[in-house]
């Protein structure tokens, strides 16, 4: 994954990244206070969750933009450029703006006698809030980085919070039980404010939600009141019916003209639409049904079920890029590959798979979930100091999953693995395992085949 083009911005972030993860709100709160509380210049929506939080944040920001609001969007991680993380009306922050914001952050934290060195994520979060204040946004949507309670984004005071899903990931920080993970994510909730969640039949999560309601949080499990219908024919799109009545006005249904939308995209869309309805009640009166539909339909979120078609030396090829990086994501991708008609509509019989993951992810478990839908598997490593070595994963599989191992080939260099996999995949190639791998694949495809994947400067909306 590459950083900003500016060597100065890259140098700042690379130096901070060396110091690793720093959970806790004390330092970021002191930094924001010393900066004059840029986060208080506009209303904020916080989006947490194990999977789907970035997509939901992008969808909600696009809806707000379609309604005529100047909207900031902060997401993580990035695919190809760190500038992608900070956007106003869908357009990425410029090199000079990023450098200026980071300089302010570093100079401010240097004066902190308790801890003068912010983490990478604290610095980029503060830079985003500075940029949004300087841009005079009407509202900002922030994707939580890790968990919620101790994440830097939680130093702000959201008017609305959402948790898109709760599953097992980052267990070394969040705990091993769902109720422990849910409690960490529910740290984004505020008494007297709405908290939207998607918690289908999760008993441990429901216990945590009852705890939040007892402390005055207005909790709504969107899953309980949502119906999704695939229109006929499926190419016509899908309909989301939000059956819970808002505090004022009738329940609503929205039809989206998006073919091949996966079921987890339906979930993200329902969460974004419901959040938009709440924001309308909270004062964003220009939000209407037409802006919800337009916002969803014009939002592009690269690297999530993104289909790229190329003309290789071996003939035409289809490459499906997806950010699935944990078991829940792998299961969602598997469901999509099995049920979406992908094989028929794209001519992909049994596709091949290129898989590249980070350490501290249960890569073998994800591969086992994906295995029924793919044929041959290339194992490699994304370019990251946190990468899981593809050969190490291959050895793991040989020991514990020998039958699956027979279908796998480990190649050291990511670019070599991608080139070989594309050449050997007339029925299509799926690339997943981490967003780092997806970003690296997008960059390589753009450089080799001039695909429209150098997207940092392109608006996400419209």
HEC-encoded secondary structure of the chain: CCCCCCHHHHHHHHHHHCCCCCCCCHHHHHHHHHCCCHHHHCCEEEEECCCCHHHHHHHHHHHHHHCCCCEEEECCCCCCCHHHHEEECCEECCHHHHHHHHHHHHHHHHCCCCCCCCCHHHHHHHHHHHHHHHCCCCEEEEECCCCCCCCHHHHCCCCEEEECCCCCCCHHHHCCCHHHHHHHHHHHCCCCCEEEECCCCCHHHHHHHHHHHHCCCEEEEHHHHEEEEECCCHHHCEEEEECCCCCCCCCEEEEECCCCCCHHHHHHHHHHHHHHHHHHHCCCCCCCHHHHHHHHHHECCCCCCEEEEEEECCEEEEEEECCCCCHHHHHHHHHHHHHCCHHHHHCCCCEEEEEECECCCCHHHHHHHHHHHEEEEEEECCCCCCECCHHHHHHHHHHHCHHHHCCEEECCCHHHHHHHHHHCCCCCEEEECCHHHHHHHHHHHHHHHCCCCCCCCCCCEC
Q: Is the pLDDT of residue 131 over 70?
A: yes
The pLDDT of residue 376 is 96
Question: With contact defined as beta carbons under 8 Å apart, do 54 and 143 qualify?
Answer: yes
Is a pLDDT exceeding 60 seen at residue 280? yes
> In which band, very low, low, confident or very high, does the pLDDT at 261 lie, cut at 50, 70 and 90?
low
For residue 340, what pLDDT is reported? 63
pLDDT band, residue 117 (cuts 50/70/90): confident
Q: What percent of the chain has pLDDT over 70?
A: 88
Integer angstrom CA distances of residue 423 from 10, 124, 431:
34, 39, 14
pLDDT surpasses 70 at 168: no
For the ranges 63-67, 393-397, 435-439, the maximum mean pLDDT occurs at: 63-67
| Alpha helices (runs of H) in 201-241, residue ranges in sequence order | 203-214
Average pLDDT over residues 152-178: 83
Q: What is the overall mean pLDDT for the chain?
A: 88
| pLDDT at 453 (0 to 100) | 63
The predicted pLDDT at position 169 comes to: 65
Instruction: Give the pLDDT mean for 338-364.
Output: 74
Asked whether residue 344 carries a pLDDT value surpassing 70, the answer given is: no
Mean pLDDT value of segment 206-211: 92
Work out the pLDDT band at 440, boundaries 50, 70, 90: very high
Which of the four CATH numbers 3.30.1490.20, 3.90.190.20, 1.10.3720.10, 3.40.50.2300 does domain 306-449 have? 3.90.190.20
At residue 343 the predicted structure's pLDDT band, cuts being 50, 70 and 90, is: very low
Specify the pLDDT at position 1.
41
* Average pLDDT of span 77-101: 93
- The per-residue pLDDT for 226 is 92
> Predicted confidence band at 72 (pLDDT cuts at 50, 70, 90)?
very high
Give the pLDDT band of residue 273 (cuts 50, 70, 90): very high
Q: Give the start-to-end residue ranges of the domains of the chain.
A: 7-298, 306-449
Rounded percentage of the chain residues whose pLDDT exceeds 90: 63
Q: Answer for the pair 75, 55: CB distance below 8 angstroms, yes or no.
A: no
Predicted local distance difference test score (pLDDT) of residue 251: 76
pLDDT at 126 over 50: yes
- Give the range among 175-179, 418-422, 445-449 with minimum mean pLDDT: 175-179
pLDDT digits (tens, 9 = 90+) for 210-220: 999 999 999 99
Contact between 66 and 298 (Cβ < 8 Å)? yes
pLDDT of residue 410: 97
Identify the residue with better confidence: 345 or 413: 413
* Topology (CATH) of 7-298: 3.40.1190
């Amino acid at each position: 994954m590459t950083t900003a083009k500016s060597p100065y911005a890259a140098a700042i972030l690379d130096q901070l990244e060396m110091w690793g993860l720093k959970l806790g709100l004390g330092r970021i709160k002191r930094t924001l206070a010393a900066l004059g509380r840029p986060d208080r210049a506009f209303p904020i929506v916080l989006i947490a969750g194990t999977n789907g939080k970035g997509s939901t944040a992008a969808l909600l920001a696009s809806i707000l933009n379609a309604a005529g609001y100047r909207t900031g969007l902060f997401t993580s991680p990035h695919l190809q450029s760190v500038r992608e993380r900070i956007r106003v009306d869908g357009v990425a922050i410029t090199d000079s703006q990023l450098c200026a914001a980071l300089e302010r952050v570093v100079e401010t934290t240097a004066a902190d006698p308790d801890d003068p060195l912010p983490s990478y994520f604290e610095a980029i979060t503060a830079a985003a809030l500075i940029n949004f204040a300087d841009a005079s946004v009407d509202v900002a949507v922030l994707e939580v980085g890790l968990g919620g309670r101790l994440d830097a984004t939680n130093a702000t005071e959201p008017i609305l919070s959402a948790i898109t899903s709760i599953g097992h990931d980052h267990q070394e920080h969040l705990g091993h039980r769902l109720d422990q993970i849910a409690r960490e994510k529910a740290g984004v909730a505020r008494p007297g404010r709405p908290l939207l969640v998607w918690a289908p039949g999760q008993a441990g999560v429901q216990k945590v939600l009852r705890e939040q309601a007892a402390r005055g949080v207005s909790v709504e499990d969107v899953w309980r009141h949502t119906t999704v219908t695939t229109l006929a024919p499926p190419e016509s799109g899908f309909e989301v019916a939000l059956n819970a009545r808002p505090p004022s006005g009738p329940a609503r249904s929205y039809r989206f003209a998006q073919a091949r939308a996966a079921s987890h995209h339906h979930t993200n869309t329902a969460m974004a639409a419901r959040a938009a309805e709440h924001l309308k009640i909270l004062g964003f009166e220009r939000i209407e049904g037409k802006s919800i539909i337009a916002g969803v339909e014009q939002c592009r979120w690269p690297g999530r079920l993104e289909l790229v078609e190329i003309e290789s030396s071996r003939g035409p090829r289809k490459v499906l890029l997806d950010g699935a990086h944990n078991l829940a994501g792998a299961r969602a991708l598997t469901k999509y590959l099995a049920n979406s008609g992908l094989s028929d509509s794209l001519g992909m019989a049994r596709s091949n798979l290129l898989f590249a993951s980070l350490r501290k992810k249960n890569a073998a478990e994800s591969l086992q979930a994906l295995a029924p839908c793919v044929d041959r598997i290339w194992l490699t490593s994304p370019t990251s100091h946190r990468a899981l070595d593809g050969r190490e994963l291959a050895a793991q599989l040989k020991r514990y999953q020998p039958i699956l191992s027979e279908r796998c080939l480990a190649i050291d260099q990511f670019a070599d693995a991608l080139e070989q996999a594309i050449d050997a995949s007339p029925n299509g190639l799926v690339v997943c395992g981490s967003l780092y791998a997806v970003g690296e694949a997008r960059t390589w495809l753009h450089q080799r085949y001039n695909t429209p994947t150098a997207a940092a400067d392109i608006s996400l909306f419209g």
